[in-house]
Amino acid sequence: MDLRERFKQVRADSKRFCEPLEVEDYCLQAMANTSPPKWHLAHTSWFFETFVLKTFARDYQPFHPAFEVLFNSYYNGIGAQHPRPERGLLSRPVLSEVLAYRQHVDQQVEQMLDANDHPQYARIAELVELGTHHEQQHQELFFTDIKYSLARNPLYPAYSGEPAPGGGASRPLTWLEHPGGTVDVGHRGEGFCFDNELPAHPVLLQAFALADRLVTCGEYLAFIDDAGYQRPELWLSDGWQQVCEQDWRAPLYWLGEGRDWQEYTLYGLLPLDLERPVAHVNAYEADAYARWAEARLPSEFEWEAVASGHELQGQFADSGDWRPAVATAKEDTQLHGGLWEWTSSAYSPYPGYQAAEGAVGEYNGKFMANQLVLRGGSCVSSRSQLRNSYRNFFYPPDRWQFSGIRLAQWR
């Protein structure tokens, strides 16, 4: 797809995903880590305005002088930022103003792309492409954030007014064997990638096996019923501390405590579907489950070594189902889409890693501490944002992402 088309489509997707919302939902921020829909809509525009229009457009007039601070997420190189936990307090600008901001930015960017006469056009195109991938990441966050915020409402409102699609029966789990040895990881070739996927380099693996699908809710329920949340020997110490302090007994959106489990979904409250992959577990839960199951979490390189042999297909944001789908067919490995998969790998720079120059270089490198890599994408990712070398990253205690469990074992 050509860049101009991609830009228009991604920008349209952001608005399309918001369509089911009420105006009142656009300011919701139920915790500091999540952002209101209106803020996502504005910040993704801010990205193009800041890195493209303000830098390269002739005589550019900023849409609003205060937006540079209000919608800066974390770019210290640009300047001050509105405090993250207070994004939900920005009732103004109202939604219609934010939509006007988007339109303003869209027109200017499209005009630059159409004209195609800027002496630094190549750099502009690079940044616009980066901006579309950035916006797709925020589309994912939009889904995870609005799910989290709506779930705090005792009315458990649905994001989607459509009926929830049915699932099917999960097939038995088998193992994908890998002999180990030196494998290449990271991005090679022409297409877009983030700086954190570079440089490609070899790593040395021991022989291992990956489960050929994700862990299901039914399997996870067996862990719960086997006192999984009461047995410290199954848990990492930091995880056990959180289990105790926060009295966790099930994944984030499970309700009912054993009597008629229900799950909050983007369709509202539904009976728990035991066949679907277990979602919204954090790294501690994933690790404890794996230990209980006499397995472990894969490293990000093990995942990539296996995934590189598979085409990038699966359940993405255009699947028509806002829940992770059941693996019914043998060939459906769920490696791509469905749920992000926790790995055991710390989010670290690859050998020789260089962050991009300037403020845009704050995108990835400065977050390489205390986080783990997740791989593969989820049912709220867009297919066109993903690659086998794509590295997502969250903190071990985070539960609000569409994150699941893939098991691994030594061989």
Residues in the site for a second copy, rule: CB under 8 A? Answer: 22-28, 30, 38, 66, 69-70, 74, 76-77, 82, 86, 88-95, 149-150, 152-155, 157, 182, 201-204, 206, 232-233, 235-240, 283-284, 287, 344-346, 348, 351-352, 362, 366-370, 396, 410
How near is the Cβ of 284 to a second copy at its closest, in Å?
7
Q: Least CB distance from residue 168 to a second copy, whole Å? A: 32
Q: Of 344 and 378, which has the nearer Cβ to a second copy?
A: 344
* Minimum CB distance to a second copy smaller for 328 or for 370: 370
Those residues with Cβ within 8 angstroms of residue 258's Cβ, 6 or more apart along the chain or in another chain = 224, 225
C-alpha separations of 282 from 2, 71, 114, 191, 265 in Å = 37, 28, 44, 31, 17
DSSP string, 36-82: -HHHHHHHHHHHHIIIIIHHHSTT---S-TTHHHHT--S-TTT----
3 state SS of 271: strand
When the beta carbons of 2 and 233 are compared against a second copy, the nearer one is 233
Distance CA 213, CA 174 (A): 8
- Looking at the Cβ atoms of 12 and 23, the one nearer to a second copy is 23
Sequence-ordered strand ranges (E) for 179-267: 181-185, 201-205, 208-211, 254-255, 262-265
Long-range contacts of 238-243 (CB under 8 A, 24+ apart): 238/284, 238/396, 238/397, 239/282, 239/283, 239/284, 239/285, 239/287, 239/288, 239/396, 239/397, 240/284, 242/284, 242/397, 243/284
For a second copy, the closer of residues 316 and 347 by Cβ is 347
Min CB(166)–a second copy separation in Å = 26
Compute the least distance from the CB of residue 181 to a second copy, in Å: 10
- Which residue has tokens 């988007």? 102
Minimum CB–partner distance for residue 64 and a second copy (Å):
9
Beta-carbon count within 10 A of 388 CB: 22
Please say whether the beta carbons of 88 and 34 come within 8 A.
no
* Tokens 């950035």 sit on residue: 134
Half-sphere exposure of 15 (CA within 13 A, CB side): 14
49 Cβ contact list (under 8 Å, min separation 6): 62, 63, 67, 105
SS3 239: helix
For the four alpha carbons of 312, 314, 315 and 320, in that order, the dihedral sign comes to positive
Task: Give me the least distance between CB of 182 and a second copy, in Å please.
Answer: 6
Quote the least distance from Cβ 112 to a second copy, whole Å: 28
Residue 98 or residue 109: which is nearer to a second copy going by CB? 98
Give whichever of 12 and 89 is closer to a second copy, judged by the CB atom.
89
- Dist CA 186 CA 349 (whole Å): 11
Instruction: Compare residues 237 and 246 and give the one whose CB is closer to a second copy.
Output: 237
Considering the complex, what minimum distance in angstroms separates the CB of residue 131 from a second copy?
A: 21
Shortest spacing between CB 132 and a second copy, in angstroms: 24
**What is the rounded CA–CA span in Å between residue 319 and residue 67?**
35
Minimum CB distance to a second copy smaller for 36 or for 277: 36
- Rg of the chain, C-alpha, whole Å: 21
Residue number, 115 or 155, with CB nearest to a second copy = 155
For 202, the 3-state DSSP assignment is: strand
Minimum Å distance from CB 99 to a second copy? 13
Q: Which is nearer to a second copy, 374 or 379 (CB)?
A: 374
Identity of the amino acid at 145: D
Token pair in block for residue 87:
């994004």
Q: Work out how close the CB of 249 gets to a second copy at its nearest, in angstroms, rounded to a whole number.
A: 18
